[in-house]
């Protein structure tokens, strides 16, 4: 059975042109004029683009005393409804748990996925077993390793562990990733705020000012430089972090920054809403920032100093958020966005003229596929690529609301936002999984996509080279004569 998408305009990260797309056996087999196939999808007035890749999700993840509410079933279903055809989810090993043991648990959890997925591995503790397991992880196609510089007493790793792990990632040709916030300072500020009676959700934002993110981003970049590994900074939310990333990139370092759709369009005033639930539902780390930081993130996407737009989809219900009544530090951190990332970015990016449709494709799909070594299987409209595609209707409109969403939670942080630009069809490996507002899911359709390691490009020019060069012994013992 062949499928052909006709009468549309193909939009990739670098080209815009009119052509039909032929699909057979889950991959694109021809692109050109006047193609025919068994099943015809009409793309009149629409763009044919690579499906979105969300490089940052937490599905059914144990966190802060509970589990994130969307699992691989509802999470990938939400993605498809919004044009996202792949997620890259974080495996979170428990303290003392082997990495491959945790990977097995994640493979078990992902069995009901409607769309393809890949994994990052989190390094949540350090020891010989983790060092050894990292090689097994790379061999199993899990080649990126995330480190939390925050969540002290739970997931946080210290600088010595960060340096050891980064060196290991560099040796293995993997990709180091960081959640960059100074966890020690956050812990101090949290204790002070609580002691002063600041228990509400707004205090979450006070406890994590931009400086804690800027400092940690700088520190991670310098440590990665000394370790000779490329670095991917997740959820870059402020100018302080963006500045560090810009500086590193200008110096030739392979450092990438990932703003979230939430930080691009929602600001810190959300935490001052008089309604406790409203504010708590938006508690995530890093917190939403003011306009100045939002402008910086948009500028980064426009200039190329920031590379991808993610969601960090880690959704909790209102009931779960209420674990933190009386103590903001107990509010499970995280927000949703899988279904909304593409439409909201199109609305605030393309419809305002801040991004071209090609730049939209780059930051939602192609750049991500390249950085994570998924390209051109994913992130491309090319013969031989997986037919993970969206037929995007720039004239289709809706108002975002929780009642019509796929996510399992009972609210939506973008509630009430009007968007123009939505998928008409979403295809996952050639299968039409979303059509005219309806998801035609197939549990278990999604496949794990392993990724290969590659040599650490940074080693040619970073401090790692100097630091690891053999040094002559310049002095031994006690000087023969004193001063």
Query: Where along the sequence are the contacts to ligand URP (CB under 6 A)?
Result: 58, 179, 284-285, 312, 314, 333-334
Q: Residue 451 binds which one of ligand URP, Zn ion, none, with CB within 5 to 8 A depending on kind? A: none
The CB-of-281 to Zn ion minimum distance in angstroms stands at: 8
Site residues (CB under 5 A) for Zn ion, limited to 254-283 = 278
Given the complex with Zn ion, which of 112 and 235 has the nearer CB atom? 235
Given the complex with ligand URP, which of 50 and 324 has the nearer CB atom? 324
The CB-of-68 to ligand URP minimum distance in angstroms stands at: 8
Distances in whole angstroms, Cα of residue 426 to Cα of each of 79, 152, 305, 369, 467: 10, 40, 29, 18, 49
HSE of 256, CA atoms in CB hemisphere, 13 A: 21
The CB-of-314 to ligand URP minimum distance in angstroms stands at: 4
Q: Residue 334 binds which one of ligand URP, Zn ion, none, with CB within 5 to 8 A depending on kind? A: ligand URP
Q: Residue 219 binds which one of ligand URP, Zn ion, none, with CB within 5 to 8 A depending on kind? A: none
Given the complex with Zn ion, which of 23 and 205 has the nearer CB atom? 205
The CB-of-55 to Zn ion minimum distance in angstroms stands at: 10
The CB-of-233 to ligand URP minimum distance in angstroms stands at: 12
HSE of 310, CA atoms in CB hemisphere, 13 A: 28
The CB-of-284 to ligand URP minimum distance in angstroms stands at: 4
Judged on CB neighbours under 10 Å (0-12, 13-18, 19+), 289 is buried
- The answer to the question of residue 208 lying near Zn ion (CB under 5 A) is no
User: Distance between CA 324 and CA 320 in Å, rounded?
Assistant: 8
- The answer to the question of residue 77 lying near Zn ion (CB under 5 A) is no
Given the complex with ligand URP, which of 200 and 334 has the nearer CB atom? 334
Judged on CB neighbours under 10 Å (0-12, 13-18, 19+), 114 is buried
- The answer to the question of residue 239 lying near Zn ion (CB under 5 A) is no
Given the complex with ligand URP, which of 310 and 363 has the nearer CB atom? 310
Which residue minimizes CB distance to ligand URP? Answer: 333
- The answer to the question of residue 370 lying near Zn ion (CB under 5 A) is no
How would DSSP label each residue in 247-265?
HHHHTT--EEE--BHHHHH
CB 12 within 8 A of CB 21: no
User: Distance between CA 304 and CA 24 in Å, rounded?
Assistant: 35
Q: Residue 342 binds which one of Zn ion, ligand URP, none, with CB within 5 to 8 A depending on kind? A: none
Q: Residue 278 binds which one of Zn ion, ligand URP, none, with CB within 5 to 8 A depending on kind? A: Zn ion
How would DSSP label each residue in 370-405?
HHTT-TTTSS--STTSB--EEEEEEEEEEE--GGG-
- Please provide residue 323's backbone torsions phi and psi, each rounded to the nearest 5 degrees: -60, -20
The CB-of-339 to ligand URP minimum distance in angstroms stands at: 17
How would DSSP label each residue in 140-159?
TT--EEEEES-STTTTB--H
CB 93 within 8 A of CB 101: yes
The CB-of-305 to ligand URP minimum distance in angstroms stands at: 22
Task: Indicate which single residue of 89, 213, 270, 312 sits in contact with Zn ion (rule: CB under 5 A).
Answer: 312
Closest residue by Cα to residue 232 from 285, 164, 308: 308
Task: Indicate which single residue of 179, 242, 293, 313 sits in contact with Zn ion (rule: CB under 5 A).
Answer: 179
Torsion of CA 5, 9, 14, 15, to 10 degrees: 110
Given the complex with Zn ion, which of 179 and 263 has the nearer CB atom? 179
- Contacts with Zn ion by CB under 5 A lie at 179, 278, 312
């Amino acid at each position: 059975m062949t499928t052909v998408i006709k009468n549309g305009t193909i939009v990739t990260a670098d080209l815009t042109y009119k052509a039909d797309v032929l699909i057979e056996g889950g991959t694109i087999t021809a692109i050109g004029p006047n193609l025919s196939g068994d099943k015809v999808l009409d793309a009149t007035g629409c763009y044919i683009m690579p499906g979105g890749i969300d490089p940052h999700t937490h599905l059914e993840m144990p966190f802060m005393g509970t589990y994130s509410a969307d699992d691989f079933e509802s999470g990938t279903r939400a993605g498809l409804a919004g044009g996202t055809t792949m997620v890259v989810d974080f495996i979170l090993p428990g303290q003392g748990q082997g990495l491959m043991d945790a990977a097995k648990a994640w493979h078990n959890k992902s069995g009901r996925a409607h769309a393809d997925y890949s994994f990052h591995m989190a390094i949540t503790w350090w020891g010989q077993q983790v060092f050894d397991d990292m090689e097994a992880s790379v061999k199993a196609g899990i080649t990126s390793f995330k480190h939390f510089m925050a969540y002290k007493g739970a997931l946080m790793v210290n600088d010595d562990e960060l340096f050891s792990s980064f060196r290991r990632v560099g040796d293995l040709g993997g990709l180091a990733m960081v959640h960059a916030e100074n966890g020690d300072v956050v812990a101090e500020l949290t204790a002070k705020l609580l002691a002063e009676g600041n228990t509400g959700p707004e205090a979450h934002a006070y406890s994590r000012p931009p400086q804690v993110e800027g400092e940690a981003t700088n520190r991670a970049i310098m440590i990665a430089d000394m370790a000779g590994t490329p670095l991917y900074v997740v959820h870059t939310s402020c100018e302080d972090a963006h500045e560090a990333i810009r500086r590193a990139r200008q110096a030739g370092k392979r450092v990438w920054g990932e703003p979230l759709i939430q930080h691009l369009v929602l600001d810190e005033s959300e935490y001052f809403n008089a309604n406790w639930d409203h504010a708590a539902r938006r508690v995530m780390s890093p917190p939403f920032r003011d306009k100045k930081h939002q402008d910086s993130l948009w500028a980064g996407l426009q200039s190329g100093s920031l590379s991808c737009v993610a969601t960090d989809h880690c959704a909790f219900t209102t009931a779960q958020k209420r674990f933190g009544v009386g103590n903001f530090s107990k509010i499970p951190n995280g927000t949703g966005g899988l279904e909304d990332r593409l439409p909201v970015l199109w609305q605030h990016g393309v419809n305002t003229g801040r991004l071209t449709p090609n730049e939209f494709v780059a930051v939602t799909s192609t750049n991500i596929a390249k950085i994570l070594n998924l390209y051109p299987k994913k992130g491309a409209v090319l013969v031989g690529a997986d037919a993970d595609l969206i037929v995007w209707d720039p004239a289709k409109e809706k108002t975002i609301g929780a009642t019509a969403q796929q996510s399992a939670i009972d609210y939506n942080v973008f509630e009430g936002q009007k968007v123009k630009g939505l998928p008409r069809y979403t295809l996952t490996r050639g299968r039409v999984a979303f059509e005219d507002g309806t998801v035609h899911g197939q549990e278990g359709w999604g496949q794990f996509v392993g990724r290969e390691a590659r040599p650490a490009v940074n080693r040619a020019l970073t401090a790692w080279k100097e630091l690891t060069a053999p040094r002559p012994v310049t002095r031994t013992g006690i000087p023969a004569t004193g001063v």
